[in-house]
């Protein structure tokens, strides 16, 4: 099961647990169930310290890259304004690759607790 490739290539997806389809929908609809968004940001210059950004969690990958997790309800414009105010300039961004995996695990765990 290569969920990262499924996210990139498929329009529809079914989640199967012990031979039972527990979810069948579009990838977009499934991903919309996520309450948080995680982005990997490549920085223009080294980040010397991790800033305190409201409603966000920052993990330093290396001196030039960070992973930032924030509520989907938070405006990305606000997020980037706060980063900029803390002297952090972003040169590129991408979604964290394992979003479908997170949902898959959540759906399986929910299915197990039901029955």
Closest to 41 measured CA to CA, from 60, 16, 13: 60
Count of domains observed in the chain: 1
Give 43-95 pLDDT, tens digit per residue: 999 988 999 999 999 999 999 999 999 998 999 999 999 999 999 999 999 98
Residue with tokens 């800033």: 51
pTM as predicted:
0.69
Query: What's the CATH number where 104 sits?
Result: 3.30.70.1560
User: Which residues span the domain enclosing 43?
Assistant: 3-114
H helix intervals, the chain? 3-9, 27-31, 76-85, 99-114
């Amino acid at each position: 099961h290569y969920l990262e490739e499924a996210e990139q290539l498929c329009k529809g997806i079914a989640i199967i647990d012990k031979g039972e389809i527990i979810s069948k929908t579009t990838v977009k609809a499934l991903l919309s169930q996520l309450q948080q968004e995680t982005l990997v940001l490549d920085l223009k210059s080294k980040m010397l310290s991790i800033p305190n950004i409201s409603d966000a969690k920052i993990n330093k990958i290396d001196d030039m890259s960070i992973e930032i997790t924030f509520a989907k309800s938070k405006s990305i414009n606000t997020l980037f304004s706060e980063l900029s105010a803390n002297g952090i300039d972003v040169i590129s961004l991408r979604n964290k690759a394992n979003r479908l995996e997170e949902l898959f695990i959540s759906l399986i765990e929910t299915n197990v607790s039901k029955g």
